[in-house]
A and B are shown apart, each in its own frame.
Chain A
Amino acid sequence: DGGITQSPKYLFRKEGQNVTLSCEQNLNHDAMYWYRQDPGQGLRLIYYSQIVNDFQKGDIAEGYSVSREKKESFPLTVTSAQKNPTAFYLCASSIGQATGELFFGEGSRLTVL
């Protein structure tokens, strides 16, 4: 089955630690995205990538980093510089950004202890 796989589903981290969230897709999509979801805030774009080896900052990129070494993979690292990292993180992909239709993973819940 084609789709997007995010792991882990739940993650706990101590303050000061970096953590990497995995996102893999087998839809052969060019574009991939990371969103952060907080109650009452909707979805906020962290980073996006339209092609391999290229990515752009979204609206709330500070404290996060990404890489896009393979078409299928777009991992997100939440660094210790992110001041409020506890949130639900959603990865998505699309054929192209201009189409608008996004396919989402099941999300990763990060809790900082």
Chain B
Amino acid sequence: AQTVTQSQPEMSVQEAETVTLSCTYDTSESDYYLFWYKQPPSRQMILVIRQEAYKQQNATENRFSVNFQKAAKSFSLKISDSQLGDAAMYFCAYIVRNRDDKIIFGKGTRLHILP
């Protein structure tokens, strides 16, 4: 079965520091997408970053970057220069590309930013 595991239910980081959120997944597929979604206290989920499995280069979006290790089935999110607005639940997600499958979410990591 395809699963997504986030082993850190909660994390804290000092403002302006760097933090890494972990995600591992289990799949026998070779072509898929991976995502990090952010859910702030306002509760509306937004996409932070997306990675195509066929691309070797790690995706980056401003202060957010991923470390995608396909062989290890690992997809961690690094947040640099953490800001108070980064406080949120972060969900890792996976979907097989170009197939009629459902997106699979991890259970989330709650990130606290310490001023």
Contact = CB atoms under 8 A, between A and B. Distances in A.
Contacts, number: 55
B115 to A, nearest CB: 25
B91 A42 contact: yes
Contacts of B35: 100-101
A105 B96 CA distance: 24
Interface residues of A, number: 21
A98 B43 contact: no
Given A98-B101, A100-B35, A100-B93, 18 more contacts: A40-B107, A42-B91, A42-B105, A42-B106, A42-B107, A45-B102, A92-B45, A97-B101, A97-B103, A98-B96, A98-B100, A100-B33, A100-B103, A104-B44, A104-B45, A105-B44, A106-B42, A107-B44
Interface of A: 40-43, 45, 48, 50, 58, 88, 90, 92, 97-102, 104-107
